[in-house]
Amino acid sequence: MTTFDAPSALGEDQLTALLQSLPRLEELTVRVPSFGTGRWLRLLPTSLRTLYVAGPEVTKPRWPGRYGSGLSVSLQGVAADTISHLATELGSRITLLVTDAQITTIPSQLRGAIIRVEPDTVILPAGVGDSELTELRNSRKTVKRLSVSAADLPRLRGQLPEGLKRLNIRGPEVTEPRWPEWNPLVRGLSVSLQGVAADTISHLADLRRTVTLLEIYDCNDLTTGSLEPLTRLVKSCRQLCVLYLHCTADTGRAVLTALKEADLGRDSDGQPRTICLRVPEEMYCQLKSQASYRVWVYEWED
């Protein structure tokens, strides 16, 4: 037997016994059990390639499709703790996770998997290869939010989905992607950087996309002495109009000074270009008096 649809009325002991009797199972559909221990997950046979877990109200199942040689999992209409059980019991076996539950933290056991949060979000693991790029291309028309590791950014040149609105670029220690704000009135791409090296900023200009908003978090080596990648970005991305900056006060002052001294050129309408610099409250109190008619300073209400 390669496919089995487990009835929702099964108890934990019955489901456990059933799984032990199906050593060659490849596809399994389970209505989310009333019990929540997740013990049955550790009994899934190594032959399993596709697992679909549905909540009690789901009427139109969405299979994830198979990806790679590991386990592809689809969760629909289930509680968020099911993801924790999956990570704990199945760990690195999972290569693709599709869910309609909003994920705020990536469990460490799932950092090697593609996570697709329905209907429009994809979180790619570090170490993007041809198979991950193929999966991304297959989702080009629906993806509006994408999170990638900083090390993989150069590989994404020319590969970003057509309808992408928000791009999160994360460093190796980041487990909670922070999605940038997006203004539907401003065309272009909103980008957030988390825990990355300053030179990551330089790669944004190579994405062949118009970056209009940039948020920078925890970029520790973006200091008063290493602003070149940021000033370079401002000059090359002529549509960049909003910069959110979470940094030290000294770096904030240096960024403001550099922006005021930079040749900002003109916007697409031929008007003198302006940039809105948003900073945390305590920094805003120090910098607001230093704003100019080309570089505005506002409080970042995070």
Other Cβ atoms less than 10 A from the Cβ of 65: the count is 12
98 and 144 housed in the same domain: no
Which residues touch 149 (CB under 8 Å, ≥6 apart)?
A: 124, 125, 126, 127, 128, 169, 170, 171, 172
Residue that finishes a domain, picked among 93, 110, 127: 110
102 and 29 housed in the same domain: yes
State which residues form the domain around 245.
119-302
Residue that finishes a domain, picked among 53, 85, 110: 110
* 2-56: pLDDT as tens digits: 777 776 677 777 877 888 888 888 888 887 665 556 777 888 888 899 998 887 7
- Count of all residues that appear for the chain in the document: 302
Confidence of residue 168 (pLDDT cuts 50, 70, 90): very high
Residue that finishes a domain, picked among 92, 110, 128: 110
* 74-88: pLDDT as tens digits: 988 887 778 888 888
- Counted domains in the chain: 2
* 106-163: pLDDT as tens digits: 888 988 899 999 889 999 998 888 888 887 887 777 899 999 999 998 888 888 888 8
71 and 161 housed in the same domain: no
Query: Which residue in 181, 177, 201 sits closest to 298, CA to CA?
Result: 181
